[in-house]
Amino acid sequence: MMDTSRRSPNLLKIVRDIADFQFGRGVGGKLFPDECRVEVSKRTDRPRYVYLGEELLATIRYPDNLIALSLEGARRLKSALGENAPRAVVRREAVDKVLNGLNLAPRDISFCSPSIRPGDEVVIEDEDGRILAVGRAVVSAQTMMGLSRGTAVKLRRILKT
C-alpha cells in the first residue's frame, strides 16, 4: 500500500496559502505549524488532509479546494484570530440542540461575526466561549441575525460529550 503522508514544505505551503486566502493573511502559518503532516489524495495527488501529530486539523474539500476544519482546527483558528474568527455564539437554551447534531437555526444565535458569508467555515461556541461545533454558513451574517426560521449553519463536526 502506498504511503500518502508527506512532510513536504511545498505541500504545507499550498495548504497555508489556502488558509491565508480563506481566513486572512498570516493565518496559514498560525493554523498549520511546521510540524504538520499533509496527506495527499491518491486519485488527484493534491493535498487532502492536514495532521498535527495524530490530530486531524483540516480537510481540503473538493471541488472548491477550501478548508473544512476539524474541532481542533477550529480551536487553532480561534486562537489565531481571537474575536475576529468567523464564529456564531449559541443561546444557552440551544446548546443541547447543537450537541445533538441539529443544524443551527437563526433563532438559536445570539451573536455572529459580521463578516460571515454563505459557504464560510463557522466556529460554533456557547456563551462561555467553549467550542461546540464547526460548520458551513448557509446564509450571510446579516441574514442570520434577521431571519426567524430556516437553517443558518449546517453543522459538520460536533463536540462529543
Q: What is the pLDDT of residues 56-83, one digit of tens each?
A: 999 998 888 999 999 999 999 999 998 8
61 shares a domain with 110: no
CB 108, CB 147: distance < 8 Å:
no
Decide which of 20, 53, 74 is a domain's last residue.
74
90 belongs to a structural domain: yes
What 3 state SS string does 26-73 have?
CHHHHHCCCCEEEEECCCCCCEEEEEECCEEEEEEECCCCEEEECHHH
What predicted TM-score, i.e. pTM, was given to this entire model? 0.86
Residue 81 lies in a domain: no
Claim to verify: residue 106 and residue 146 sit in the same structural domain: yes
Task: Please tell me the total count of domains within the chain.
Answer: 2
Instruction: Report if residue 29 sits inside a domain.
Output: yes
- Same domain? For 67 and 95 the reply is no
Are 113 and 69 in a shared domain? no
* 62 shares a domain with 95: no
How many angstroms separate the CA atoms of 55 and 72, rounded?
8
pLDDT band (50, 70, 90) for residue 9 = low
Asked if residues 124 and 99 have their Cβ atoms less than 8 Å apart, the reply is no
Question: Is position 146 within any domain?
Answer: yes
Task: Name the one residue in this structure whose C-alpha cell is 502559518.
Answer: 29
> CA of 70: how far to CAs of 60, 64, 110, 121, 135, in Å?
11, 17, 23, 10, 9
Cell of 142: 446579516
Do 101 and 123 belong to one domain?
A: yes
pLDDT at 147: 83
Which residues does 129 contact at the CB level (< 8 Å), separation at least 6? none
Give the model confidence (pLDDT) of 106-153 as tens digits.
999 999 999 999 999 999 999 998 999 999 999 999 988 888 788 999
**Distance separating alpha carbons of residues 133 and 141, to the nearest angstrom:** 17
Q: Which domain holds residue 94?
A: 86-158
> Is 80 among the domain residues?
no
Please tell me whether residues 9 and 70 are part of one structural domain: yes
